[in-house]
A = this chain, B = another copy of it.
Amino acid sequence: MKIGIVGYGNLGRGVESAVQLAGDMELVAIFTRRDPSTVKVASDAPVVSMDKLDEMAEDIDVMILCGGSATDLPEMTPQIAAKCNVVDSFDTHANIPQHLAAVDAQASKAGNIGIISVGWDPGLFSVARLYANAALPKGDDYTFWGKGVSQGHSDAIRRIDGVVDARQYTIPVEESVNKVRAGEHPQLTTRQKHTRECFVVAEEGADTKAIEEAIVTMPNYFADYDTTVKFITQEEMDSEHSGLPHGGSVLRSGMTGVDGQFNNTVEFSLNLESNPFFTGSVLTAVARAAVRMNAEGVTGAKTIFDIPPYCLAETPREELIAHML
């Protein structure tokens, strides 16, 4: 399968690496809006200007889109779906139906498939929720994120006066997770689900009390959480907090029996040393499914809910059934 990558940030690097590890894939090109001569990539794939995408699209089986959900993907995914099969990681949950419709219009017309909102949430977490809900129609869903770095929250701290660098970890409240696991079906407030731990490098002479206050009272981002703030040096930041770990758990606690007499807990958990590399790896598996499904005549906008799982694996279906079922 001939693969193209569009966009080369952390996620693009993760996809590049996953494609290199796949025995059935060839990385044809990495497309960038920057001057290609300034983009140094980890593989020996050619870096090509976005202007060349249209003419190269016909030699590519699927394009893996590694732009951001805020502004890149809403434009980029429908546009490129008109030229080629695509996979993206659009993760603005509230706008998924709208994005699906926009991609569907272009992909259907062109006879391509566009699989959107792929990664782990949305993505593997979503499909875990779906299996758990199908098996336990009566019950309660819970999602806990972390321990992991939230880039949005880290950026929010960096915008505060006097802050040089910041890293924010989202941490699930263990006591609440255990209540769910124990089948207690708790009703949890925002504060009871997650805490937020912030590491901050301040400018020399900055008012750290004022910075801490600005963080913990910040609406939406921190005010509803128990937030701790630690000031550290840039050296500590670089040596201790340079990774992008993440993860979390999807749980469903639900009843079987006509009278709901049996409680059951289904849990799906991820513990990832690198969020973008894992997300890139999921996108790559879904890109394989996109090519296979399109070859079988499937067109239009799809999600992970539409993919027969065997299509994701390099191993052939018969072998999966014999050895993994």
Contact = CB atoms under 8 A, between A and B. Distances in A.
A236 to B, nearest CB: 22
Each complex incorporates copies of this chain amounting to 2
Contacts of A138: 21
Centre residue among A138, A261, A308, A315 by max chain B CB count within 10 A: A308
Interface in A78-119: 93, 96-97, 100, 117
Contact of A274 (B97, B133, B256): B256
Contact of A93 (B265, B305, B312, B325): B325
Contacts of A14: 256
A214 interface: no
A263 interface: yes
Interface of A: 14, 17-18, 20-22, 42-43, 93, 96-97, 100, 117, 122, 124, 126-131, 133-138, 181, 183, 256-258, 261-274, 277-278, 280-282, 285, 303-310, 312-315, 317-318, 320-322, 324-325
Contacts of A303: 321, 325
B258 A17 contact: yes
27 contacts: A17-B256, A96-B325, A97-B318, A97-B321, A100-B321, A124-B266, A129-B324, A131-B309, A133-B324, A134-B313, A135-B281, A135-B282, A137-B281, A256-B273, A256-B274, A257-B277, A262-B278, A264-B271, A266-B270, A303-B321, A303-B325, A304-B309, A305-B310, A306-B309, A306-B317, A307-B308, A307-B309
Contact of A127 (B22, B131, B258): B131
A130 B281 contact: no
Given A258-B17, A267-B268, A268-B268, A134 B312 contact: yes
A93 B308 CA distance: 21
Contact of A281 (B124, B136, B267, B308): B136
B17 A257 contact: yes
